């Protein structure tokens, strides 16, 4: 099958620092891949490259067979790449409902004219958007809090809302940046279930940056390891866990006996 | 709110025209102040779209007002002698729209290069822009240079000013409460998250700037035909500050609060004329106090929250 996402020798330098160095990566449609590595290994930078926040210094990125160079972040969202952030970035003055509505509207932006004239077409489109929002909120159990301010939610719900907002743009590739960070064990197991659910239900590819090995090993079919911007391993969880370079760079010695 | 908003607009327009029909019976001074109030509502609500809803701190609103005012005034002065009196409302309307359109184009020209800037930087650039506009009018012979334009026909009566205000409030409200307009708020809250949700921040910022500039331009045209006289000094930095104070006092992004603030800050200086030298000191203190005590604005009430249980 043709890869959904393809990175060819992607490199980015900030001044003298090479944050990501000649990384090759293939991601199939509906694949769930974990991206791990020590702090500063370039995981988030790789996300920023894929989502068009930075252009790569060298190398090329293809999404769905087409190069993504010169596309801005919001244009890539329309192509089908959505993401969450390591530090939650919700819209501070919006309710839960409006947060998701803002993302759902991406594929049906009206002009100024429609917003002012508010004809039948506009109202139907608006009603359709609202229906989709209700459906998403119900699916992810956020319908109870739909009129609460987004930033007033408990931490775990804020993380979940960020994922729902990303899903609302109807992506084919979802990038999750440390979704389990700061979560308690209950929230973590809920999150694991949620990632499985969304992958099953929406049939999308997921690239997951995560430090919690139980989450990563539990759900990922494949794991990619970065260290100092270089890809040092890429394979099924068992193989990666046994890889001596990965143990040295990231997992540490204790992980070895479990392998 | 779809049909509701349209109904409010029609009611407001009707009320403006009815009151206008009886304007001969009112005290001329009060009527003049009422027209000022209408014009200031337009200025404050349109600036609120830029500063409040979209979060782009602009200090150049008087510049857009000047562009609209001078263009509309010049238009009337050129055409009035040539055309029969019954065409006056047409000339006036066309002049206002032309002034608004050119102000909007100016907004586009200023907005596209500068809206990449954030916060303080944007404020400084728009401040500089406002001063450039003023200096251009101050040195241009066509627009009367330092003396300004005089003898502008006195066409702005109550109905014009308040219809303008009603349309401005309607457009801003509709924009902000649409799928289209939620982009403004998303951009204000978090530009990076907005673009990660598929919103093009530049497009929304420029739209807010252009729509805001348009209404500032129309307000400028109404102002010119109300005072019959335009001078470049009327559009200096202090005028921009006046409008910013209305927005901050009323609450950034809260249209109703901003309307109340615009009314109060037009009436108060009228009643406190003997203290007018201290007005800017008072405004500065007011902003500091509000920012400390009520950053959400004086006239902001708890948001209605439907029962979600």
pLDDT in tens, B169-179: 988 888 888 77
Q: What are the CA-CA distances from residue B48 to residues A95, A230, B185 (Å)?
A: 21, 48, 12
- CA of B195: which chain A residue's CA is closest? A74
Residue B298 lies in a domain: no
In this prediction, residues B209-223 reach a mean pLDDT of 94
A69 phi and psi angles, rounded to 5 deg: -55, 145
Please report residues of B whose CB lies closer than 8 A to that of A130: none
pLDDT of the residue at B305: 43
In this prediction, residues A210-235 reach a mean pLDDT of 88
Among A89, A111, A146, select the one facing B190 at the smallest CB separation: A89
Residue B112 lies in a domain: yes
Please say whether the dihedral angle defined by the alpha carbons of residues B24, B30, B36 and B40, taken in this order, is positive or negative.
negative
Q: Does B136 touch chain A (CB under 8 A)?
A: no
Among A73, A94, A125, select the one facing B185 at the smallest CB separation: A94
Would the CB atoms of B190 and A115 count as touching at under 8 Å?
A: no
Residue A42, pLDDT above cutoff 50: yes
pLDDT of the residue at A253: 62
Q: Does A130 touch chain B (CB under 8 A)?
A: no
Q: Does B296 touch chain A (CB under 8 A)?
A: no
Residue B42 lies in a domain: yes
pLDDT of the residue at A207: 92
Q: Does B6 touch chain A (CB under 8 A)?
A: yes
3-state secondary structure string, chain B?
CHHHHHHHHHHHHHHHHHHHHCHHHCCHHHHHHHHHHHHHHHHHHHHHHHHHHCCCCCCCHHHHHHHHHHHHHHHHHHHHHHCCHHHHHHHHHHHHHHHHHHHHHHHHHHHHHHCCCCHHHHHHHHHHHHHHHHHHHHHCHHHCHHHCEECCCCCCCHHHHHHHHHHHHHHHHHHHCCCCCHHHHHHHHCHHHHHHCCCCHHHHHHHHHHHHHHHHHHHHHHHHHHHCEECHHHHCHHHHHHHHHHHHHHCCCCHHHHHHHHHHHHHHHHHCHHHHHHHHHHHHHHHHHHHHHCCCCCCCCCCCCCCCC
Among A89, A145, A146, select the one facing B192 at the smallest CB separation: A89
Q: Does B292 touch chain A (CB under 8 A)?
A: no
Question: What's the pTM?
Answer: 0.86
Please report residues of A whose CB lies closer than 8 A to that of B4: none
Residue A111, pLDDT above cutoff 70: no
Q: Does B197 touch chain A (CB under 8 A)?
A: yes
User: pLDDT category, B99, cuts 50, 70, 90?
Assistant: very high
Between B25 and A232, residue with greater pLDDT:
A232
Q: Could you report the per-residue pLDDT of B55-92, keeping only the tens digit for each? A: 888 888 999 999 999 999 989 888 888 877 787 888 88
| Percent with pLDDT over 70 in chain B | 94
Among B181, B188, B305, select the one facing A115 at the smallest CB separation: B181
Residue B103, pLDDT above cutoff 70: yes
B178 phi and psi angles, rounded to 5 deg: -125, 165
pLDDT of the residue at A257: 47
- CA of A105: which chain B residue's CA is closest? B179
| Percent with pLDDT over 90 in chain B | 20
Please report residues of B whose CB lies closer than 8 A to that of A77: 195-198
Q: How many residue pairs bridge chain A and chain B with CB atoms within 8 Å of each other?
A: 117
Residue B307, pLDDT above cutoff 50: no
User: pLDDT category, B233, cuts 50, 70, 90?
Assistant: confident
- Please name the residues in contact with B243: beta carbons below 8 A apart, sequence gap of 6 or more: B40, B43, B44, B47, B61, B62
pLDDT of the residue at A108: 65
Calpha distance A57→A49 (Å, rounded): 10
User: pLDDT category, B116, cuts 50, 70, 90?
Assistant: confident
Residue B36 lies in a domain: yes
Q: Does B188 touch chain A (CB under 8 A)?
A: yes
What ipTM does this complex have?
0.84
Would the CB atoms of B193 and A112 count as touching at under 8 Å?
A: no
pLDDT of the residue at B237: 85
Would the CB atoms of B198 and A169 count as touching at under 8 Å?
A: yes
Would the CB atoms of A106 and B305 count as touching at under 8 Å?
A: no
Q: Does B212 touch chain A (CB under 8 A)?
A: no
Instruction: Please state which of the ranges B18-27, B44-53, B135-144, B242-251 shows the lowest mean pLDDT.
Output: B18-27
| Residue in A215, A234, A176 with CA at minimum distance from that of residue A46 | A176
Whose structure tokens read 């009430």? Answer: B301
In this prediction, residues B212-236 reach a mean pLDDT of 90
Residue B276, pLDDT above cutoff 80: no
Domain count for chain B: 1
Please, which residues 240-259 of chain A have a Cβ atom closer than 8 Å to chain B? none
Residue B297 lies in a domain: no
Residue B279 lies in a domain: no
Residue B14, pLDDT above cutoff 90: no
Residue B8 lies in a domain: yes
Distance from CA of B188 to the nearest CA of A (A): 8
Q: Does B193 touch chain A (CB under 8 A)?
A: yes
Distance from CA of A102 to the nearest CA of B (A): 6
User: pLDDT category, B304, cuts 50, 70, 90?
Assistant: very low
Q: Are B148 and B227 in contact (CB under 8 A)?
A: no
Instruction: Please state which of the ranges A139-148, B12-21, B156-165, B251-260 shows the lowest mean pLDDT.
Output: B12-21
A4 phi and psi angles, rounded to 5 deg: -75, -40
Residue B307 lies in a domain: no
Q: Name which of A48, A71, A74, A138 to mutate to probe chain B: the one with the most chain B Cβ atoms within 10 A of its Cβ.
A: A74
Q: Could you report the per-residue pLDDT of A54-101, keeping only the tens digit for each? A: 889 988 999 988 888 888 888 899 889 999 998 889 998 888 998 998
Domain holding B115, by residue range, is: 3-19+28-235
Between A113 and B288, residue with greater pLDDT:
B288
pLDDT of the residue at A245: 83
Average pLDDT across chain B, whole number: 84
Q: Name which of A44, A112, A144, A151 to mutate to probe chain B: the one with the most chain B Cβ atoms within 10 A of its Cβ.
A: A112
Among B3, B175, B195, select the one facing A115 at the smallest CB separation: B175
Residue B109, pLDDT above cutoff 80: yes
Would the CB atoms of B196 and A51 count as touching at under 8 Å?
A: yes
Would the CB atoms of B196 and A89 count as touching at under 8 Å?
A: yes
């Amino acid at each position: 099958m043709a890869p959904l996402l393809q990175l060819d020798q992607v490199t980015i330098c900030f001044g003298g620092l090479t944050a990501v160095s000649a990384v090759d990566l293939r991601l199939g449609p509906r694949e769930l891949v974990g991206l791990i590595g020590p702090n500063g290994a370039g995981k988030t930078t790789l996300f920023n490259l894929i989502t068009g926040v930075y252009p790569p210094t060298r190398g090329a990125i293809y999404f769905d067979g087409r190069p993504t160079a010169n596309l801005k972040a919001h244009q890539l969202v329309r192509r089908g790449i959505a993401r969450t952030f390591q530090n939650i970035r919700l819209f501070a003055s919006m309710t839960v409902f409006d947060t998701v509505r803002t993302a759902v509207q991406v594929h049906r932006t009206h002009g100024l004219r429609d917003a002012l004239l508010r004809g039948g077409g506009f109202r139907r489109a608006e009603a359709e958007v609202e229906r989709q929002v209700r459906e998403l909120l119900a699916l992810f159990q956020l319908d109870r809090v739909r009129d609460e301010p987004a930033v007033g939610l408990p931490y775990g719900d804020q993380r979940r809302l960020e994922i729902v907002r990303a899903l609302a743009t109807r992506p084919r590739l979802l990038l999750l940046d440390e979704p389990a960070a700061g979560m308690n064990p209950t929230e973590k197991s809920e999150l694991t279930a949620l990632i499985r659910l969304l992958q099953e239900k929406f049939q999308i590819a997921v690239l997951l940056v995560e430090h919690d090995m139980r989450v990563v090993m539990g759900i990922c079919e494949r794991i990619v390891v970065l260290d100092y911007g270089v890809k040092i391993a890429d394979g099924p969880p068992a193989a990666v866990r046994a890889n001596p370079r990965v143990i040295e760079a990231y997992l540490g010695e204790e992980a070895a006996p479990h392998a | 709110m779809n049909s509701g908003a349209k109904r409010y607009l029609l009611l407001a327009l009707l009320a403006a025209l009815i009151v206008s029909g009886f304007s001969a019976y009112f005290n001329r001074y009060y009527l003049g102040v009422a027209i000022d109030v209408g014009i200031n509502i337009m200025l404050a609500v349109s600036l609120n779209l830029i500063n409040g809803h979209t979060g782009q701190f602009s200090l150049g609103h008087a510049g857009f007002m000047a562009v609209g005012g001078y263009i509309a005034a010049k238009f009337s002065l050129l055409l009035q002698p040539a055309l029969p009196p019954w065409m006056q409302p047409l000339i006036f309307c066309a002049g206002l729209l032309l002034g608004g359109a050119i102000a909007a184009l100016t907004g586009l020209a200023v907005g596209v290069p500068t809206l990449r800037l954030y916060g303080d930087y944007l404020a400084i650039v728009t401040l500089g822009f406002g001063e450039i506009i003023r200096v251009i009018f101050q040195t241009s012979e066509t627009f009367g240079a330092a003396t300004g334009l005089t003898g502008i026909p006195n066409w702005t009566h109550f109905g014009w000013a308040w219809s303008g205000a009603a349309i401005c409030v309607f457009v801003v409200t509709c924009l902000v409460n649409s799928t289209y307009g939620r982009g403004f708020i998303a951009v204000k809250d978090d530009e990076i998250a907005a673009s990660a949700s598929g919103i093009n921040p530049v497009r929304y910022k420029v739209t807010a700037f252009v729509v805001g500039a348009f209404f500032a331009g129309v307000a400028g045209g109404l102002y010119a035909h109300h005072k019959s006289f335009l001078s470049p000094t009327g559009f200096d930095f202090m005028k921009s500050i006046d409008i910013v104070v209305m927005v901050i006092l009323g609450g950034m992004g809260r249209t109703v609060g901003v309307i109340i603030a615009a009314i109060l800050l037009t009436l108060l200086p009228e009643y406190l004329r003997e203290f007018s030298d201290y007005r800017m000191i008072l405004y500065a203190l007011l902003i500091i106090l509000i920012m400390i005590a009520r950053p959400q604005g004086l006239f902001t009430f708890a948001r209605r929250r439907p029962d979600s249980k």
